[in-house]
Amino acid sequence: MYKTKLLAAFCALAAVTGCASKMENPVDYVTYRNEPLAKQVDVGMTKSQVLTVGGPPSTELNRTVRSGTCNNYVMEKDGSKQVYYVSFDANDRVDGKGFMTCEQMEQNERNM
């Protein structure tokens, strides 16, 4: 009984810790995971490959915490909209992506 409770507490802590580093809503992932940007864009892809998959971004910004740029996209499904970012390093290679804006991603990087 003690081992079961300890294991359950450990799993809960691991889940919360994993989410704390990347503040994203799991519902967004489940809802939009099959959208081309979320499904096809991978770390290491070039900016031109991302533009082929996702088209032109809603906005693009120059990153301040690290060298590079970041594209904001708005995905729409069943009338609902969700923001999504794809960040690029100084060599125009994807180094991050997720269900938040570039501005939110930059703020998270500043806070780390």
Residue 31 identity (one-letter amino acid) = T
Based on its alpha-carbon atoms, the radius of gyration of the chain, rounded to whole angstroms, reads 16
Whole-number average pLDDT of the chain: 83
Please give the pLDDT value at position 41.
97
Number of domains in the chain: 1
21-74 pLDDT per residue, tens: 455 677 777 888 889 999 999 999 999 999 999 999 999 999 999 999 999 999
Query: Would 11 be classed as within a structural domain?
Result: no
Q: What are phi and psi of 75, to 5 degrees?
A: -95, 145
**What percent of the chain has pLDDT above 70?**
79
What is the distance between the alpha carbons of residues 91 and 79, in angstroms, rounded to a whole number? 36
pTM score of the predicted model? 0.76
Residue 47 maps to a domain: yes
Which residues constitute the domain of residue 105?
24-111
**Is residue 17 assigned to a domain?**
no
| Residue 8 within any structural domain of the chain | no
